[in-house]
Structure 1
Amino acid sequence: MFLEFINLLTQFDSGFGVLNYLTLRAVLAMLSSLLVSLALGHYFINKLHQYQIGQVVRTDGPQSHLVKSGTPTMGGLMILFTFIISSLIWADWSSIYLWMVLATAVIFGAIGFIDDSLKIKHKSSDGLSSRKKMLSQSLGAIIIGLWIILSIDNPLQTQLLIPFFKDIALPLGIFGFLILTYFVIVGASNAVNLTDGLDGLAIMPVILISSALALFAYISGNYNFSNYLNMPFMPGTGELFVICAALVGSGLGFLWFNTYPAEVFMGDVGSLALGAILAVIAILLRQEILLFIMGGVFVVETLSVIIQVAYYKRTKKRFFLMAPIHHHFEKKGISEPKISVRFWMVTLILVLISLASIKIR
């Protein structure tokens, strides 16, 4: 939207053309989403209080969490609002990548919104049934996957790039690509959802991974940089740099209110959408494997639940004191802020390892 206005201004003064630069638009997108989040945060939280949209805490979880009962939830609406508005202002509307990411945010945000609404309505920690949630996520993932195949003419689109190697890519074919897309989107969406159990625990990894994906987007969309660094050149993906920057700003703005002790929780409307957004950006950049590495914390959280359920069905005993694994550490007496910060540090290390793949090829 803003690009059209800039083009109009450049007709009067060519100096306005500087606002067309990708890097400047990315910085402005991040600042816009951050400042709007900070400006609207308290108003939004007060509205949640007013409409009694509060968190329902599991009674079988750590007892220290009982004091959080009633804390405003569905803060993910604020994240998505500032992210979408900032992206629409600073990104190029002619970019198909913009609309794919925003559609993902809306689809998975809607699923999370329904889930949160049912929890609040029934005053229970159970929202949508697992079957309905999985069906909705699957449908959303398939729609996005088909859209990517039908809209993007890129020979790399149906190949799986192997990081840390220069010219190694596995051909997937259209059917294989759809399967990969399905598992990456649904898996990432649920993984972030499972991780969102402590104050600030999920949002900081999202910020760090978004920052790394922004760098990959900038390099992939620039012929000179991608050629120099032996990375595939994918025209148009540079616009994802602006979108990732908007997501980083929205995440930082939310973290201001979500850090311990949290004034608001993101809810499923935030966690399901954020996981899917990261997945789609990684798919468009052909960096699914690096997303798996960078999101190691999300992966471990998900595996802990799978292991716990499978082990209990087999032995009628618990493998962990409680799953997801962050609750296991809480049960062992580690404080909530310490767990969150340590998980952030692990994510930072994994992100740096993934960024090293840019030069190690």
Structure 2
Amino acid sequence: MLYLLLYPLHKYYSGFNALRYETLRSVLAGLAALALSLALGPILIDRFRALHIGQTIREVVPQTHQKKAGTPTMGGLLIVASMLAATLLLANVLNPYVWIAIFVTLTFGAIGFSDDYFKLTRGKGLGLSGPAKLVWSFSCAFIAAAWLFLYLGFDTHLTVPFLKNVHPDLHTWFYIPFAMLVIVGCSHAVNLTDGLDGLAIGPVMTVALTYWVFSYVAGNIKFATYLQIPYIANVGEVAIFCASVIAASLGFLWFNAYPASMMMGDVGALSLGGAIGTVAVLCKQELALVIAGGVFVAEAASTIIQRYYFKATGGKRFFLMAPLHHHFELRGIPETVVVIRFWIVSIVCALVALSTLKLR
């Protein structure tokens, strides 16, 4: 909104002309999101404590987690509020790509909020059932994908990492399910990763930073042509959204670092994962998400492997516990060490994903 109000003034004051650059507005949006999250964090924590909105701990997780019971949860509201406020202030709100990202963030956040709310009110961690969350997630993802491909006429060719001349066309009716799978898969993978203090939010920031770069270069015809990636007019505005995600997440980490005084809950994990998956689709770097989000992929894969191995072997376990971070905990590695090492892996994955821009 500020962009639409202030940028026209460049006709009279040349300094406002700088607002046309996504890089500057990304910095401003990041500062705004960071300031909001740091300012609102203590208020939300006190409010959640007063309302007894505390984390419920399942019995199946390591016993060391039981001491976290009662920690204020649903901190994802802090992230979502901060990032959306900053995006609306600094991005061009007439850009449809920005609204698709906002739509997925809000709807997936609503699904997560419902799950968190039911866990609190029903007790014993009884939130939305797994099938219910998937149905609602795929429904919201379908609206976003249909909006993108049927209404906006989005290109349905894939960009394959490291292969510059390979662009398979899935066509609309195959690409819509594929886009839905990317969005929902990323959302639930982030949710599975959110099991230790600060664990999920670190990779969220590294992946969001990766896609800040991807969205910026995809929306810049000179960079896109030079790097031989698909040019998508106006998608550069999504970079402001990504910068808001990074900064709001950084502010949340202030309160989520070990020992956490606030947890994000499903409202944060599902919305952030959905946002990242949507941005991956918007800037035509869906397959690179497997690389950039390597930590999320490993966490989701470990859960799937554990489940099917358990059924196939009649009760045996492939990992000591799934998702993967619990396996390392049960091997005696301290929680903080697991978190930092996962962050390091996430940074390496992000760098490899960014290298696909040039290594083709």
Report if TM-score (shorter chain) is over 0.5. Answer: yes
Please show how residues 279-318 of structure 1 align to structure 2 within 5 Å. 279-315=277-313, 316-318=315-317
Partner of 2:103: 103
Residue 337 in structure 1 maps to residue 336 in structure 2: yes
Q: Which amino acid aligns with 1:27?
A: V
AA matched with 1:350: C
1:58 aligns with 2:58: yes
Structure 2 counterpart of 1:9: 9
Check conservation: 1:95, 1:239, Cα contact below 8 A.
yes
Superposed counterparts of 1:180-219, under 5 Å: 180-219=178-217
1:257 Cα offset (Å):
0.6
Partner of 1:82: 82
Matched, 1:268 2:266: yes
Question: What SS does the aligned partner of 2:168 have?
Answer: strand
Q: Aligned-residue CA RMSD in angstroms? A: 1.1
Matches of 2:317 and 2:115, distance apart in 1: 27
Measured against aligned partners, the alpha-carbon deviations of 1:142-183 in whole angstroms (never above 9, x if no partner) come to 1111011123234xx211111112221011011110121121
Give the aligned partner of residue 359 of structure 2.
360
Q: Which amino acid aligns with 2:129?
A: S
Q: Displacement, 1:9?
A: 3.0
Asked if the contact 2:119/2:126 (under 8 Å) is kept, the reply is yes
How many residue pairs match? The answer is 359
Deviations 1:12-55 (A, max 9, x none): 32222222321110000011101111111111111111111000
- Check if 1:93 corresponds to 2:93: yes
Cα pair 1:6 1:20 within 8 Å, conserved: no
Letter aligned with residue 128 of structure 2: L
CA distance in 2, matches of 1:168, 1:293: 18
1:101-152 superposed Cα distances (whole Å, 9 cap, x missing partner):
0000111000000000000112222310112111111111111110111232
Q: Distance in 1 between matches of 2:358 and 2:312?
A: 45
TM-score normalised to the size of structure 2?
Answer: 0.97
CA distance in 2: counterparts of 1:311 and 1:165, whole angstroms: 34
Letter in 2 for 1:267: G
124-133 or 259-268, larger mean C-alpha shift: 124-133
Asked if the contact 1:290–1:354 (Cα under 8 Å) also holds between the matched residues in 2, the reply is yes
Query: 161-170 or 265-274: which moved more?
Result: 161-170
1:105-254 mapped onto 2 (5 Å cutoff): 105-154=105-154, 157-254=155-252
CA offset at residue 60 of structure 1?
A: 2.5
Which amino acid in structure 2 is aligned with residue 318 of structure 1? R
The structural deviation recorded for 1:353 is 0.6
Determine if contact 2:230/2:284 at 8 Å carries over to the other structure: no
